[in-house]
Structure 1
Amino acid sequence: MKFYQMSPQERRKELAKHGASLEPVAEETLARLNDMSENVVGEIALPLSCLTGAVVNGKQWQIPMATEEASVVAAANHGFSVFAKNGGVTAHSQRDGIYGQIVLEVGADFSLPDFNAHFPAYIDLANQEFSSLVGHGGGLRQISARQEGDLLYLLALIDPAEAMGANKANAILEFLAEKMQAEPGVKVKLFAILSNYPSQLTKAEVTLPFASLTKDGDVARGEEIAKKMALLSRIGQTDVYRAVTNNKGIMNGVDAVLAATGNDTRAVEAASHAYAVKDGKYQSLSSWTIEGGALRGRIALPLALGVVGGSISSRPDIRQSYSILGKIKAGDLANLVASVALANNFAAINAISTKGIQAGHMRLQTRNVVDLLEATPAEKKAVFDLMTSQHKYGETAAKVFLKELRGR
C-alpha cells in the first residue's frame, strides 16, 4: 500500500519504524485533519494571542494573532499602545475584486474587436450561472483582453463578496473559458485560473505628535526620534537590502492575523512583494515622514481576504478567532490587518531609532531558553532575571546560572 493510501494511524506507525517520534494526537482530531490535507500524520499548533488595545477607525478591536514569535505580538501591542494615545489608526479597504486570467491560443482568422464586443454578454452569462455569488453582493464585474501574436490574454475582475474567492473565481474562469473556445479563431484554452496580482488594496495611516514618541513627553527628544525614523524609512525606499527586511517585519504581523483567521498567507505575501516592486524597483511597503510637526505613518497592502468560505467555517481553531473579532466584514478585517502591519513596522523602526532592536528580541528569546531548563518555576524565574540583568544569553549561560543558584 502506498503512503497516501494509508490511514493517518498507519502512516504514523510506518514513520515510527524509521525512528520518527510523533506527538500524540487525538484520533478524532487526526481524522478531521486528514480531511483537510494529504499524507496527514499529525498537527503543528501555534499559540493564539490577542491584541486588546487596537483602535482602528475610532473603534477598539480585539485582534487574534497566531505566531510562535513573541516579539511579533509584543511589537504590535507596543505600536497600538502609542497609536491609541493619538486617536488610533485610520484605514480604508478598496474591495473592487480579485483578478482572474484566461489565456487562449488563437489563429490568423481571430478578430479581437469582434471578440471584445461579446464581453457584456459573457458577463451576464457568468452572473446568471453564479447567481448565488451575485446574491451575496459579488459577481463578475469586467473583462479585458490583449493579443500578443497567437496568444490572447484575458483579465477578469471578480467581486468575491465576503469570501477570499479563489475557488469561486476559478469556477467562473473555467466556465468562461469553455464558452469562449467556441468563438471564431480560438484554437485552445491554455489555462484559466485566479491571479494573485495585487488587488483589494487597503491603506492605513497614523499621525503621532513628537511628544508621544517619548515616555516623558519630551518634544525635542520626540522630534529627534521622529527624524531618525523618517530617515530609516527613506532608506527603505532606495535601498533594497533595507526594504526587504522592513517588509519582512511588516509581514510578521500580517501573517499572524491571516493565520489566525484562516486566510491565505502565501497569496498575500506574493501580492505584497509584487506591489513592493510596482514602481520598477523593490521598495518598503510603508513610509514615515515628518508633516506639520508630527510623524505620519502610512502603509498600503493588497489584501484579498475573506471572512466566510474555505476552511473558515470548518476549523474550530479558526472559529475561535472570529469569536474574538465579533461579527466582521472582509473590508474591516483588511483594515485591521493593515493596521497591525503599521503597528509592527512602527515598533521595529522606533526600536532601531532608540535602544536598538536586538535587546527586545533577546529578552523574548531568553524565555524560550529558560523554559527548556529542567528546573522549578522559581529557579527558571531567577535564571531569567540573571540572564536579562547581566545581558548574558543562550543555553550555556542559562545552565551556568542554574548551577550557581543551586550551589548557593
Structure 2
Amino acid sequence: MKFYELPPEKRRALLASQGLELADLDSATLAKMDQLSENVVGRLSLPVGLVTNLVVNGQSYLVPMATEEPSVVAAANHGASIFTQNGGTKVTSERQGIYGQIVLQAADDFELADFEQSFPKLIEITNREFSSLVHHGGGVRQITVRCEHELVYLQVLVDPAQAMGANKVNSILEFMAEKLAIFPEIKTKLFAILSNYPSQISRVKVQLSVQSVGGKTVAQQIALLSQIGETDPMRGVTNNKGIMNGVDAVLQATGNDTRSVEAACGLWASRHGQYCSLSSWRLEDDMLHGELSLPLALGTVGGSINARSDVQENYQILGSSITSQQLAEVVVSIGLANNLAALLAIATTGIQAGHMKLQARNIVATLSANDTEKQQVLSLMKQDQNYTQAAAQKYLIEIRKAK
C-alpha cells in the first residue's frame, strides 16, 4: 500500500521502524486529525492566549490568539488597552463578496457584446443550482468581462454568506465555465478558480490622546515612524509583519485561512504602485490618529471550522453568534493594536527589551530541569534582566550548587 493509503497508526509505525521517535497520541485524537488532512502522523498544538478587552464599534470582545509568541499576545493587550481608554476602535467593512476568475480562449469571430448578453441568465441558472448558498444570503452577484487578444477574462463576484467560501466558489466557477464553454465562439476553457485578489475590505480608525501613549514627543515619534514606513519598503515590510503577527494569531484561533489573507494583504500593501506600510499614524491637534485597512475574506462556518472542537471553543470565547463581518472587524482592530504596541516600543524603550523578557519562558522551557528549578531560573533572569540562553544555564548551575 502507498503511504497515503495506510491508516495513521501504520504510518506512525513505519516512521518508528526508521528510527523516528514520535510523541504519544491516543487513537481517538489521531483519527480526528486524519479526517482533517492528508498523510497524518501527528498533530501540532499552539497555546491560545486572550486579549481581555477589545472594544470595537462599542462592543467589548474577549479575543483568542493562537501563537507560540508571548510578545504578540502581550502587545495586542497593550494596544487594545490604550484603544479602550480612548473609546475603542471604529470599523467599517465592505462585504460584497469574493472574486472568482474564469479565463476562456475565443475564436477570431468572437463578439463580446453577444457574449455579455448571456450573463443575466447564467447568474439566474447558477443561483438556482446553488440555492443552498442563496438560502443563507449568498450567491453570484456580478460578472464583469474583458478581452485581451484571444483570451476572455471573466471576474465573478460571489457572496459566500458567513463562510470563507473557497470550495463553494470553485464549484460555482466550474459550473459557470462549463455553461460558457459551449458558447459558439468559445474554443476552450483555460481555467476557473477562486482569486485571492483583495476583497471584503475592513477599515479601522482610532483617535488617541497623546497622554495615553506617553506624551506628545512619543506621539510625534510614532507619526514619524509611520511616515518612514509609507515611503521606505524596508521599514514598511517589517511594520506589516508586526500587524500580521496579531492578524494571523486570531485567524489561527478561529480556523481561518492565514495563507489567503497573507497573499491578499501583500498585494494590498502595493496597491498604490509601491510597497508600503498597511497602517498610517498622524498627529493632529494633540490627538494621534491611526488607520489600517485589510482585505479579510473570513468565515465563521464551514470547512474545518465546524469540525474542530478547539476552534469551536474559541468561538464560544468570542461569542457564538459573531458574524464574519464582526470577526473581520475584530481582526483588523487587533492588527492595529499590535502595530501601535510595536511602534510604542520602538519610540521608547526599544523593541528588544520587552520581547526578550517575554521570550525568557521559552528559553527556560528548553532546560533539562524540573519545574521548581525552571521557576527559580526564570525569577533570576527577570531579577537581573538577563534573558539569554547562557544566563539560564548559569543560573541553573548556581541553583543546583546551592542545594
Query: 2:133 maps to which residue?
Result: 133
Query: 2:355 maps to which residue?
Result: 361
Matches of 1:270 and 1:189, distance apart in 2:
26
1:104/1:188 contact within 8 Å kept = yes
Query: 2:75 maps to which residue?
Result: 75
Query: 1:320 maps to which residue?
Result: 313
Residue 71 of structure 1 and its aligned partner are, at CA, apart by 0.7
Question: What is the identity, as a one-letter code, of the residue corresponding to 1:384?
Answer: L
Matches of 1:13 and 1:394, distance apart in 2:
38
SS at match of 2:374: helix
TM-score of the superposed pair, with normalisation by structure 2: 0.97
SS at match of 1:284: coil
SS at match of 1:170: helix
Matches of 1:351 and 1:395, distance apart in 2:
23
TM-score of the superposed pair, with normalisation by structure 1: 0.96
1:51/1:62 contact within 8 Å kept = yes
Residue 271 of structure 1 and its aligned partner are, at CA, apart by 0.3
Query: 1:219 maps to which residue?
Result: none
Query: 2:241 maps to which residue?
Result: 248
SS at match of 1:140: strand
Whether 1:370 aligns to 2:364 is yes
Query: 1:393 maps to which residue?
Result: 387
Matches of 1:145 and 1:195, distance apart in 2:
15
Residue 25 of structure 1 and its aligned partner are, at CA, apart by 1.1
SS at match of 2:381: helix
Q: What do residues 163-196 of structure 1 show as CA deviations (whole Å, max 9, x unaligned)?
A: 1111111111111100001112101101000000
The 5 A counterparts of 1:229-308 are 229-308=222-301
Query: 1:119 maps to which residue?
Result: 119
Matches of 1:393 and 1:161, distance apart in 2:
48
The 5 A counterparts of 1:7-406 are 7-214=7-214, 222-326=215-319, 327-406=321-400
Matches of 2:388 and 2:16, distance apart in 1:
32
Residue 376 of structure 1 and its aligned partner are, at CA, apart by 4.5
Further displaced range: 47-56 or 233-242:
47-56
Percent identity, please. 56
Q: What do residues 113-141 of structure 1 show as CA deviations (whole Å, max 9, x unaligned)?
A: 11012111111111111111111111101
Matches of 1:157 and 1:349, distance apart in 2:
37
Matches of 2:340 and 2:131, distance apart in 1:
44
1:109/1:184 contact within 8 Å kept = no
Matches of 1:289 and 1:268, distance apart in 2:
26
SS at match of 1:263: coil
Question: What is the identity, as a one-letter code, of the residue corresponding to 2:179?
Answer: K
Question: What is the identity, as a one-letter code, of the residue corresponding to 1:258?
Answer: L
Residue 51 of structure 1 and its aligned partner are, at CA, apart by 1.4
Matches of 2:146 and 2:197, distance apart in 1:
17
Matches of 1:384 and 1:32, distance apart in 2:
37
Matches of 1:189 and 1:406, distance apart in 2:
72
Question: What is the identity, as a one-letter code, of the residue corresponding to 2:375?
Answer: K
Q: What do residues 16-50 of structure 1 show as CA deviations (whole Å, max 9, x unaligned)?
A: 12221111111011111111111100000111112
Q: What do residues 255-289 of structure 1 show as CA deviations (whole Å, max 9, x unaligned)?
A: 11111111100000000011000011101110111
Matches of 2:194 and 2:270, distance apart in 1:
20
Matches of 1:30 and 1:88, distance apart in 2:
42
Residue 374 of structure 1 and its aligned partner are, at CA, apart by 3.6
Question: What is the identity, as a one-letter code, of the residue corresponding to 2:78?
Answer: H
SS at match of 2:45: coil
Residue 404 of structure 1 and its aligned partner are, at CA, apart by 1.8
Q: What do residues 221-272 of structure 1 show as CA deviations (whole Å, max 9, x unaligned)?
A: x110000000000111111111111111111111111111111000000000
Residue 401 of structure 1 and its aligned partner are, at CA, apart by 1.3
Segments of 5+ residues of structure 1 without an aligned counterpart are 215-221
Question: What is the identity, as a one-letter code, of the residue corresponding to 1:152?
Answer: V
Q: What do residues 318-350 of structure 1 show as CA deviations (whole Å, max 9, x unaligned)?
A: 110111111101100000000000000000011
SS at match of 1:39: coil
Number of aligned residue pairs: give it: 401
Matches of 1:381 and 1:40, distance apart in 2:
35
SS at match of 1:35: helix
SS at match of 1:208: strand
Further displaced range: 125-134 or 79-88:
125-134
Matches of 2:165 and 2:151, distance apart in 1:
27
1:260/1:321 contact within 8 Å kept = yes
Question: What is the identity, as a one-letter code, of the residue corresponding to 2:272?
Answer: D
Question: What is the identity, as a one-letter code, of the residue corresponding to 2:237?
Answer: V
SS at match of 2:91: strand
Residue 375 of structure 1 and its aligned partner are, at CA, apart by 3.5
Residue 358 of structure 1 and its aligned partner are, at CA, apart by 0.2
Matches of 2:373 and 2:222, distance apart in 1:
40
Q: What do residues 59-107 of structure 1 show as CA deviations (whole Å, max 9, x unaligned)?
A: 1101111111111100000001111111011112210110000000111
